Structure 1
Amino acid sequence: MATAPTTAQRRAPTGVSCPGKVFLAGGYLVLDRAHQGFVVATPSRFFTVVDERHAGEAGAAAERDRFAIEVVSPQFDDGRWRYEARRVDGEWTVDEDKSQGSASNSFVHLSVRAALQVASALNPSASFRPLAVTIVGSNDFYSQSRTDTPIPFAPLHCTIRDVHKTGLGSSAAMVTSLTSALVLHWTAAPDDASTASEHGRLPNPDAATVELLHNLAQYVHSLAQGKVGSGFDVSTAIYGSQTYRRFAVECLGDLLSPNSSRESTITGADLLAALSPSSNPAWASSSTAGSVSSFALPPNTLLLLADVDAGSNTPSMVGKVLAWKRAEPSDAERVWRELGESNARLRDTFAALASAAEEDREAYEGEVRRLAGLPASEWTTSSTPFPNAVNDILTIRNHIRYMGSASGVPIEPPEQTRLLDACSALPGVVGAGVPGAGGYDAIWVLCLAPPSPSSSSSSSSSSSAAPAPTAPSTGVEALLRSYTAMSVGPLSRTAWAQGGTVEGDKGLLRERLDEVEGLKEAVERGRRV
């Protein structure tokens, strides 16, 4: 990582985005390091833009040991926080300015404080300027009217406390983009952007820096939540779609002491030593370190997401499942083992489909076109592994329902079962499920996405015998919009994850404001308020 110079040279704005997530398989099991989770990164992203304020805006030139930081989230009525960073005896602290009456936000406050500590530890003699920071999330992170097309990063006309989320991992994506943008702004060389092309995204940091940013975001997110979760949502925000094995609590050592979320006694050097993979062996040891490996949806598939406007208490659900696991260890271990095996089979089936597409793209696409017009119950004669994927998903759902019944937790409640079954019966649908911990928050639907005949050099005999069927996604959308047994609606197409694409699998990215639709305008809205 390049360290910040000691001069007070003004930097260009720094933009960082991180994706949301859909936890396709591995809910509950991922809490145990013996099991893995399978996560898809969404096109929906959280963006943080860090800019240095002009001297006139700040009231004075930056002081060596004191500067102001204003963070704005213009989508919310109460999304504005002001902080004063002070260096006392060589250590930075960040105090909240409550004179404007804004509500406190521990996720934002702890992100700013920890990022400053890490950046200053990387270069203790660095100079800092007053900052204006803007945070916005793609519209599909939040429940809102789907009858029209809102502007990008649309105002939600409510407070943060009152907003309804869609379960894409907004807090993890926000914390990761905010901490990463701040650290990169303070530590990257001022001319870092000048070596890149004039268009498109800027080059990402090197692997060691990305790993440090991951560990920092895991620390802040755990601190703000008051516990160490599984960490898959932060990992997805950094690395994108993945097979995930959680890190051990030992990696964070004493960083989560009872007083850490208040006035921290942890120095910047302590924090950097604990989070740096080169200094803390726990982040590298096979007995404690987490792991990330490849996971992707098959080519010519689409993962549709739907918002169920009911809501579930995920921490309460997790607590009850773990209590059942302790009370009935034999039965629980059997279910967890069989569910883990089913999850792994789905991963392997997806990999086999990707291999089939690579080996003979024409035959694969022709079979996708044929299956797209049939319900999955009629796929038994397919030459591809798609019928295996259908069975894998159904087996996983069976295990999840048993776990829910045994623990008294509505992981896939009956109302959701009826909705998932209705979606799964449509032509071209591979399967459907409840993401993550389940409950009433959301559903996912995986359907085929056949290419148009013109997109292939030729058509196979299996696809030329009949006209191209209606896209399966159209049927799924229509069902979700007309469904009356629950309040459910599909997220916009911009939130759908497309199989077989590298772009859809990406994690943290460095962005240019002008290259992201609506981002520059959102930043300007925040500054006008």
Structure 2
Amino acid sequence: MGGYAILSEQCVGLSVGLNEKFYAFITTQDVQNEQISNQKIMIKFISKQIESEWIYEIDLISKKVNQQQNQAKNPFLEAVTQIAIEEGIEDLSKVKKNIYVNIFHDNRFYSSASKKNEQKSNYFSIFDKNNLHKTGLGSSACVLVATLGSLLKYFQDYADEKLHYLSQKANFIAQKKIGSGFDIATCVFGSQVYKRFPPEIFSSCTQQQYKWNTLNRFNIPKLLKIMMIDLQIGSDTRLLAGEVKKYLDNNPEEAQIFYEECNKNASKLQEIFSGIESIENLKEKRESIISLNKQYRSVFKAVGIKAKVETEPDILSDILDQIINEIPSVYYGVCPGAGGYDALCLLTDNSLTAEYLQAKIDQMKNQNSSIKEMVVQEMEISQQGFHLLDELSKNKFLQNIF
């Protein structure tokens, strides 16, 4: 809960971290003779799952970053490279090798409709990069934090506060100053009550700003879990966020009402969850939680209509309403993040199974021809953010890659 309200520094939002991950690990190669004479190295990002790579040449004297010509642009990896070189390394003279950053991601970040038939590992699927539909789990933020974190660790200049600050700055650049940064903070620190940074913080030259956001944990009761409904369509987050922000900036009085309503709902929901200790408590509070959910969805949808974008499309409103009304073990439902057609997320208790919800969704689809194929996936809530794999986990991970 929070959505577009946390574009304002006066508002708080509640974010829930999941156990889905992006992984990044680094290998190196000696530089070529001509690179030595020109004081240049290469950073190459490789994603075998979407059969893509992005190559950047780094001038160690000027700190300029140039991408190889005729390559697809990736604003997030470009910003990661720039920030890592400009601010992530204390001594550039120690950088002597070409760097290869290998990226892998859990399958649920992208729709099953995007998968190719081939499966090249025990765990990681291959996706069609020309038909890639995201599910709204924060893939852009995750790839940014994972790759930047791996580079900072490689350069031996890693700390959570520094990773958070530099990730926020890189995201700020990549998103062209749009976005609240809650997804970055959740990637680094896990579930939390989030408040946006003041944008002018990135113009400061001191390192005091690393501690600008005091982490305030948002603890979801262990009785709850997330069910995600993959819509296999996807939406452009930057477009949605850009249009809503433009509307809010141009209508300050309405924006203030919107901010206050969202902030009030988020604070109430945090208070309710903090007092839940048993399934009985949870059931007693369901009506209050559902009421807050409806209020939040109402303002979230309304601001999209006014901005002329579909933050909660009508067809998804109908689906959410029916699920919440007919399944007592569902406590909260939302189009996550910026909204649109990425996915639906439900907060449920442990009694609801993916099989039951899938059957319910299939029944709804048969009743409404406009509902396309939807796939239910059960998600594990995790309080853990960015972390380095221990030796056992690393070996297990390496066994599963191509």
Verify: 1:74 aligned to 2:48, yes or no: yes
Task: Work out the CA distance in 2 between the residues paired with 1:345 and 1:149.
Answer: 47
Partner of 1:479: 360
Structure 2 residue aligned with 1:400? 300
Given that residues 423 and 445 in structure 1 are in contact (C-alpha distance below 8 angstroms), is that contact kept between their aligned partners in structure 2?
no
Identity of matched residues, %: 23
Listed one character per residue, the Cα deviations across residues 81-134 of structure 1 (whole Å, up to 9, x for unaligned) are: 33333322xx43343344xx54343322332232133343x2354243222220
Which string of whole-angstrom CA distances, capped at 9 and with x for unpartnered residues, describes residues 46-81 of structure 1? 11101223x5xx66799594333332110113x123
Higher CA-based Rg: 1
Counterpart residue number, 2:223:
300
Count of matched residue positions in the alignment of Structure 1 and Structure 2: 393
2:375 aligned with 1:490: yes
**TM-aligned CA deviation for residue 490 of structure 1:** 3.5
8 Å Cα contact 1:314-1:437 kept in structure 2:
yes
Equivalent of residue 172 in structure 1, options 141, 153, 158: 141
Counterparts in 2 of 1:34 and 1:448: CA distance versus 1, 3 Å: same
Deviation at 1:184, TM superposition (A): 0.9
Distance, in Å, in 1 between the alignment partners of 2:218 and 2:176 is 30
| Alignment CA distance shift 1:110-1:318 (3 Å) | closer
Cα drift, residue 242 of structure 1: 0.9
Q: Are the equivalent residues in 2 in contact too, given 1:38–1:244 (CA < 8 A)? A: yes
- CA separation of 1:330/1:143 partners in 2, compared to 1, >3 Å: closer, same or farther? same
Match of 1:152 among 107, 113, 123: 123
**CA deviation after TM superposition for structure 1 residue 429, in Å:** 1.4
Report what 1:442 is aligned to: 343
Please give the alpha-carbon distance, in whole angstroms, between the structure 2 residues aligned to 1:472 and 1:237.
Answer: 27
Find the partner of 2:18 among 28, 36, 42: 42
- Change over 3 Å in CA distance of 1:440–1:158 after alignment to 2: closer
Asked whether 1:111 is paired with 2:41, we answer no
Match of 1:96 in 2: 67
Specify the code of the residue in structure 2 equivalent to 1:183: L
Q: Structure 1 pair 93/407, CA: closer, same or farther in 2 (3 Å)? A: closer
1:473–1:297 Cα change, 3 Å? farther
| Cα 1:436–1:102 shift into 2, 3 Å | closer
> What is aligned with 1:277?
207
Query: TM-score scaled to structure 2, two decimals?
Result: 0.86
Residue 103 of structure 2 aligns to which amino acid in structure 1?
I
Change (3 A) 1:338 1:157: closer
CA distance in 2, matches of 1:290, 1:232: 11
- Structure 2: segments with no counterpart, 5+ residues: none
Q: Does structure 1 retain, via aligned residues, the 8 Å contact 2:112–2:232?
A: no
Gaps of 5+ in 1: 1-24, 189-204, 254-272, 358-363, 372-378, 451-470, 499-503
Q: TM-score by structure 1 length?
A: 0.66
2:292 aligns to what SS in structure 1? helix
Which residue does 1:33 correspond to in 2? 9
Within the alignment, does 1:388 sit opposite 2:288 as a pair?
A: yes
What SS class does the counterpart of residue 21 from structure 2 fall into? Answer: strand
Mean Cα deviation higher: 323-332 or 39-48: 323-332
Q: Secondary structure at the match of 1:85?
A: strand
Structure 1 residue aligned with 2:317: 417
1:263-274 to structure 2, matched below 5 A, reads 274=205
Residue 431 of structure 1: which of 332, 339, 362 is its match?
A: 332
**Given the superposition, is the C-alpha separation of residues 491 and 63 from structure 1 closer, same or farther in structure 2, using an over 3 Å criterion?**
farther
Provide closer, same or farther for how the CA distance between residues 513 and 116 of structure 1 changes in structure 2, counting only shifts above 3 A.
farther
Q: CA deviation at 1:332?
A: 4.3
Deviations 1:216-252, CA, capped at 9 Å, x for gaps: 1112222223224211111111111111111111011
Distance 1:420 1:228, change over 3 A: closer
Amino acid at match of 1:38: L
Note if contact 1:40-1:497 (Cα within 8 Å) is conserved in structure 2: no
Offset at 1:343? 1.8
- The answer to whether the 8 A contact 1:94-1:113 is kept is yes
Counterpart contact for 1:430–1:446, Cα < 8 Å: yes
CA distance in 2, matches of 1:86, 1:326: 39
**d(CA) in 2 for partners of 1:344 and 1:149?**
46
Instruction: Give distance in 2, aligned partners of 1:32 and 1:338.
Output: 13
Partner SS, residue 155 of structure 2: helix
Give, in whole Å, the separation in 2 of the partners of 1:102 and 1:514.
Answer: 36
Letter in 2 for 1:238: V
Do the aligned partners of 2:118 and 2:126 also contact (CA within 8 Å) in 1?
no
**Alpha carbons of 1:164 and 1:183: their partners in 2 closer, same or farther (altered >3 Å)?**
same
Task: Report the alpha carbon displacement of residue 321 of structure 1 after superposing the two structures with TM.
Answer: 3.6
SS in 2 for 1:393: helix
Mapped to 2, the partners of 1:313 and 1:133 lie a distance apart of 26
RMSD (CA atoms): 3.1
Q: Does 1:345 align with 2:265?
A: no
Among 37, 44, 58, which residue is 1:85 paired with? 58
| Contact 1:302 1:449 (C-alpha < 8 Å) held by counterparts | yes
Query: Which has a greater percent of helix?
Result: 2
Letter in 1 for 2:358: E
The separation in 2 between residues aligned to 1:149 and 1:102, in whole angstroms, is 25
Please say if residues 110 and 134 of structure 2, whose CA atoms lie closer than 8 Å, have aligned partners that are also in contact: yes
Q: Secondary structure at the match of 2:49?
A: coil
- Out of 112, 120, 131, the position equivalent to 2:99 is 131
